[in-house]
Structure 1
Amino acid sequence: MSDTTSNTAEKLTTSDGKPLKASLAKALRRQKMRALLLIAPLLLFVLISFAAPIVDMLFRSVQNEIVPETLPRTVTALESWDPASDQLPDEFVFAALRDDLIIAAERKQHTRLGSRLNYEMTGMSSLFRKTGRRVDDFGEIFTEQFEDLNETWVEPATWVSLMASEDWISAQAEWAAAGDDDVAEPAFEVSEAAKEALPRTAEIYAGFADVIQTEDNDSPTEEEPWNPVYAALYDDLIANPDAAADYSGATAELLSTAAAAVPEFEATTAREEFIDADEDWGSLDVWQTLYRFKGAYTAGYYLAALDAQMTADGIEMVPEDQRIYLLLFMRTLVLSVVITFSCLILGYPVAFLLSHLPLRSANLLMILVLLPFWTSLLVRTSAWKVLLQQQGVINDILVYIGLVSDSGRLALINNATGTVIAMTHILLPFMILPLYSVMKTISPSYVRAAKSLGATDWTAFWRIYFPQTVPGIGAGAVLVFILSIGYYITPELVGGTSGIFISNRIAYHISSSLNWGLAAALGTLLLVVVLLCFVIYDKLVGIDNVKLG
């Protein structure tokens, strides 16, 4: 029978002779595509304004690319160093840091790097700033001795013939002959001979040439190399005295003479120059910090957000007098719950009254409920500062009626009390509106029926009326709790030191300290806390029971 039905369906056709099944499927696809096009603008808006910022926040909370991008040679050299040892890195690591730092200083990147590492170890910012001002003098002793050996060593043309590839020399000559200032000079290219014979010199000179071309808009053919380039050349010639074998002509002769002379040069090490610039470079803690945060991604921001830190011995909690974020998280949760219950206690009777009044009176009172929305949040919060201060209106009234003495005025501002009072007032409408919308749909016949069966007013309310308002309570509680946990303007103005929320620290790190990584980590943890509370709420109350009437 089923086979017969299937065959019959397949034989059915539309007026134009096409199979009915295929036509129906095509029509269904067309409807789905039309629906998708209708919601596409909203979907795109949500992705751009909501999803994309969250993804960016999550990425910033683990991002650490500034360290490997600014110190690529140092990061590579540190791979061979054991941070658990009691020894500083070897000379090769110091030399790599010298080469990286001179380039970073010329690009004005060393201060940003220092600021990033200063989040992990106090003093790193000033260390990099101070050393960045002196790094261009590192290796000057070698520059002077190469110049004394032959004056041509300070000529840009000498270095071009030593380092540049033949293709670049030809391309640069054509560019110079054209004389077109609107066309950029060809990007510098190091020769294979230089890479083979003088690897460290070739690498730092390539960095020098790139900075000259991109930052200074100049040409390597017109600029003498940095002092660290001469220091690298000294190291290469000591390591490879036969470097001249890869060259020919005057360049080979010049290099051969230098290779024979460098063993007699007065020398200094990169380590000595760094420690002379700042003795903190001789501290093991500085290098261990560099080692721990040399990767492109880090958990350091999340550890800091949890009052912990990464040390040579593993993850440890920071000293007790520096632990603030866990306290702020706990305070934010506790005060948000208190504010939610305060709004419920104050808002439930108001919503009950509104739902039982005649429509005309209810609408008039509803205007009073919505009135705070017509006033600036900043104005409402500032008004509470006037009301709550010790010489304010509320304390003056309490003193006048004799409830408190003039010397015993209540501290209602710049503490958690002020935060709870001000935020309860601000968020109260968000509790009243869902309650009112649900209460308005409850038929009064239920309560009358309970009373007719002998129930008291309290029993009828508690057993019959109140359970029907639970969906409104759930909706209002969710709204108030979610809003209060992310507030920062009101706690900032009336909370003082004991009434601020974690969101205040997030705002501080975004706008003042510019520690966006830590702000992103705190924001991510706050998002996780909210989601956990939402899951717990769903288990206890049930999100399906939340209604807006």
Structure 2
Amino acid sequence: MAQMTDTAGPVMTTADGTPLKQALARATRRSKIRAFLLVAPLLLFILVTFIIPIFDMLSRSVSNPEVQEAIPETAALLADWDGQGLPSEDVFASMAKELSKKENRREIGRMAARLNFEDSGFRSLLNKTQRRIDRVKEGPYKDALIAIDKDWGETRVWKIIQLMSPPTTLSYYLNALDRTYDQDGNVVMQPDWKQIYVQLFLKTIYVSLGVTVACLILAYPISYLLATLPPSRGNLLLILVLLPFWTSLLVRTTSWIVLLQTNGVINDTLVWLGVISDENRITMIYNMTGTVIAMTHILMPFMVLPLYSVMKTISPSYLRAARSLGANPLVAFVRVYMPQTVPGVGAGSILVFILAIGYYITPALVGGQDGQLISNFIAYHMQKSLNWGLAAALGTILLAGVLAMYWLYDRIVGIDNMKLG
């Protein structure tokens, strides 16, 4: 390393004459670039599989382009309509003209599907009108459209089209909260027989909390045993805990069908032991009981591992010190040992709860109609009804609920107290 001097004072340089400060900055920059390139595949994976899908879900939950793309002129005219009586002749004429365009059939079909989510008669109304609109050669178009189908003479039909004309909408969220629009465009509660989603959200939260508590009650003694047994026995028990991870989730769930069904292993065993009679077998499958039992079994390792990793770090000397100071074994365990396991309890509980609140396969297979959770209805709207907007709204509300629970946990317990070991 050479040293040079100038009027500003001595300047340290490297062997090749580069100023030392500049060389260090260059080396630091190269290190940062290498570090970024190492984590770039993971960042790209998270971006593609996590962040982009979430933004896509959020956009779909408010996106409403179908009406605007199919009948832009009519939508613009309806924006100035006061909602009283029927629209003007110009609106009817514009609707007839846009429905008669041959190149517009695909967009009209998408609009029909979108409006059909709001009112089940729209698909047949638009399809019928499209088939017969060629017969309408001249006005008055109001009378012509009403002659094709009398529904065109109802204010409710035009009001729904007007409400669905903007490119964005909150109607999916209204439906997800058991709300809808009445014929005057006001937000109202859906009829009792249509109010299902709020109850499903509440049931999903209750079931998730119940599964979390059940997993904690069952996993706590197992984790304590794992942490206190000699290594040879503890490792064997740990292998038994991890064994379910070596089999498919579908296989484990299907196994519970064999165990829980009316003529299954559990009922046959109880009949053989004389606990119940053959005529009074317990129904434990295709209901909420089966869902809770199967989910508890499948998710319990996610509670055991965080608890075990924390308990393993707790020194036995704490309990011996408490005993030496006069505490009995129960008091020493409750007041000295259990508070130190709070980080593991928090980590396991929030992990199990988040997994349980979005569970799909287990309720679908063993839950039946009574054991369905909100995730099953999200899948239904994505795969069967093709109402992706409502599915996205339900998913967004579920995500918001999880974040709210996470925030509440942070306020009460504290994220700093959550550790995986």
Aligned length: 414
User: Aligned AA for 2:168?
Assistant: Y
The Cα offsets for residues 221-241 of structure 1, whole Å up to 9 and x where unpaired, read as: xxxxxxxxxx4xxxxxxxxxx
1:310 aligns with 2:181: yes
SS class of match (1:82): coil
1:61 aligns with 2:61: yes
1:76 aligns with 2:76: yes
Unpaired stretches in structure 1, ≥5 consecutive residues: 1-6, 140-230, 232-267
SS class of match (2:106): coil
User: Aligned AA for 1:394?
Assistant: I
Residue 115 of structure 2, aligned match among 110, 117, 121: 117
Question: Identity rate of aligned residues, in percent?
Answer: 56
Q: CA deviation at 1:134?
A: 1.7
- 2:204 paired residue number: 332
TM (norm. structure 2) is 0.93
Structure with bigger gyration radius:
1
User: Aligned AA for 2:365?
Assistant: L
User: Aligned AA for 2:177?
Assistant: L
Alignment RMSD:
2.0
- 2:397 paired residue number: 525
User: Aligned AA for 1:54?
Assistant: I
- 2:150 paired residue number: 279
Unpaired stretches in structure 2, ≥5 consecutive residues: 1-5
- 2:382 paired residue number: 510
The Cα offsets for residues 20-46 of structure 1, whole Å up to 9 and x where unpaired, read as: 444444443333333223222221221
SS class of match (1:498): coil
Contact 1:309/1:315 (8 A) holds in 2: yes
The Cα offsets for residues 119-143 of structure 1, whole Å up to 9 and x where unpaired, read as: 111211111122122223321xxxx
The Cα offsets for residues 488-521 of structure 1, whole Å up to 9 and x where unpaired, read as: 1111122122221100000000111100000000
Q: CA deviation at 1:343?
A: 0.6
Distance in 1 (CA, whole Å) between partners of 2:77 and 2:112 is 19
Contact 1:10/1:20 (8 A) holds in 2: no
User: Aligned AA for 1:80?
Assistant: D
Contact 2:70/2:104 (8 A) holds in 1: no
- 2:258 paired residue number: 386
Q: CA deviation at 1:79?
A: 2.3
- 1:351 paired residue number: 223
The Cα offsets for residues 467-489 of structure 1, whole Å up to 9 and x where unpaired, read as: 11111111111111111101111
Contact 1:344/1:431 (8 A) holds in 2: yes
SS class of match (1:12): strand
1:413 aligns with 2:411: no
Contact 1:9/1:21 (8 A) holds in 2: no
User: Aligned AA for 2:167?
Assistant: A
The Cα offsets for residues 233-267 of structure 1, whole Å up to 9 and x where unpaired, read as: xxxxxxxxxxxxxxxxxxxxxxxxxxxxxxxxxxx
- 1:13 paired residue number: 12
Distance in 2 (CA, whole Å) between partners of 1:376 and 1:33 is 40
Distance in 1 (CA, whole Å) between partners of 2:7 and 2:201 is 67
Distance in 2 (CA, whole Å) between partners of 1:314 and 1:10 is 78
Q: CA deviation at 1:292?
A: 0.5
Contact 2:211/2:295 (8 A) holds in 1: yes
After superposition, the Cα gap between the structure-2 partners of 1:9 and 1:467, relative to the gap in structure 1 and judged at 3 Å, is farther
Q: CA deviation at 1:18?
A: 5.0
- 1:289 paired residue number: 160
- 1:234 paired residue number: none
The Cα offsets for residues 162-201 of structure 1, whole Å up to 9 and x where unpaired, read as: xxxxxxxxxxxxxxxxxxxxxxxxxxxxxxxxxxxxxxxx
Distance in 2 (CA, whole Å) between partners of 1:8 and 1:309 is 80
Distance in 2 (CA, whole Å) between partners of 1:294 and 1:76 is 8
Q: CA deviation at 1:10?
A: 7.0
SS class of match (1:309): strand
Residue 372 of structure 1, aligned match among 236, 241, 244: 244
SS class of match (1:497): coil
Q: CA deviation at 1:280?
A: 1.0
Distance in 1 (CA, whole Å) between partners of 2:8 and 2:218 is 64
User: Aligned AA for 2:201?
Assistant: F
Larger mean Cα displacement after TM superposition, 449-458 or 483-492:
449-458
1:131 aligns with 2:129: yes
- 1:49 paired residue number: 49
Distance in 2 (CA, whole Å) between partners of 1:362 and 1:350 is 10
User: Aligned AA for 2:44?
Assistant: L
SS class of match (2:187): strand
Q: CA deviation at 1:541?
A: 1.2
Q: CA deviation at 1:105?
A: 6.7
Distance in 1 (CA, whole Å) between partners of 2:233 and 2:102 is 71
Distance in 2 (CA, whole Å) between partners of 1:487 and 1:357 is 33
- 2:97 paired residue number: 99
Contact 1:9/1:20 (8 A) holds in 2: no
After superposition, the Cα gap between the structure-2 partners of 1:272 and 1:351, relative to the gap in structure 1 and judged at 3 Å, is same
Q: CA deviation at 1:11?
A: 4.2
